[in-house]
Structures are given as structure tokens and as C-alpha cells.
Amino acid sequence: MSKVTTKLILKCLLVVVCFSSFAAEIGPFTYVQAEDIDWDENSSEIQRINLLGAQDQEGFYVYRVRFPRGITTEPHFHSMERHVTVLEGTWYAGTDASHDISKATPITAGGYMIHPAGAVHFDGSVDGPVVVEIKGIGPVTTTSVEIEL
């Protein structure tokens, strides 16, 4: 079995054994409906909702992030690999410290990206709100880096 397959199986098993207070339970299953997530549509701030676990704790975590129109993160990197799926809108992912959104790659709803551990990047929205789901194994730290001109 390949390393990727083994990692995927382990991550799926972690999902089965973890529980989030945000989620509801029906029998042995845990679920969250999209309409249960109450985004503040008028906010100009990045919003985050944990669905499962926490990135600062041991184990698997899942959370959703909403970027309002025109809001991006500053360049940074994470101590652990993270997996990002775009759920709504077009997310722009830059893979350097330039913070030049014109060089970022647009990823539309349904698209996926891996942030390797230690890889500097920035990301966010340009022309409308964006919602992404981020998954990983914690604990993970985020380190800001200076913008390269």
C-alpha cells in the first residue's frame, strides 16, 4: 500500500473517532448541514468555524473559512501539511511571499490544494466571498513572513 493511501486511510479513521460540539449526531453518525453555519454576510473580516477537532490540539481537524470580497491573508506558512477544498466562490492561492494577487492561481468551487508543511503562501478572495474547508492533523502552528517586494 502506498504512503498516500495509508495516510488517507488513517485520516478517515480519525474522522470516525473524533467528535465536534458544532456537529449533530444521529446514531453513530455526525453531521453538519450547510444551512446550520451562520456566516455574517456583512462582515469584512475572515470568519472561521471549527467543525471537528482543533488545529492547536493533537489529532484530525476540519474547519471552514469565509473570506469576504477582496480580503486575503498575509504571506505565512504552517508547521504541518493542510488540505484545502473550495466550497463556494473562487479562491486565489499565491505560492510565495510577494502577496501579489495578480500572480495567484484562481481555484474555483470543487477545486483542491495541498499546503505542504513549511511552504510560504497567501490566499483569499478577489471578486466575491469565498468559503473553503481546511483539513489537517494538529497541532499546527502558523508563522507570518515579511512580504517580498
In a domain, 10, yes or no: yes
**CATH number of residue 43's parent domain:** 2.60.120.10
The per-residue pLDDT for range 64-112, each reduced to its tens digit, is 999 999 999 999 999 999 999 999 999 999 999 999 999 999 999 999 9
In a domain, 149, yes or no: no
The per-residue pLDDT for range 10-55, each reduced to its tens digit, is 333 333 333 334 566 667 888 889 888 999 999 999 999 999 999 9
In a domain, 81, yes or no: yes
Spatial distance between the Cα atoms of 76 and 143, rounded to a whole number of angstroms: 5
pTM comes to: 0.81
Q: Which domain does 74 fall in, by range?
A: 3-144
| Among 145, 125, 142, CA closest to 44 | 125
- For 117-143, the DSSP string reads TT--BEEE-SSS-EEEEEEEEE---EE
In a domain, 120, yes or no: yes
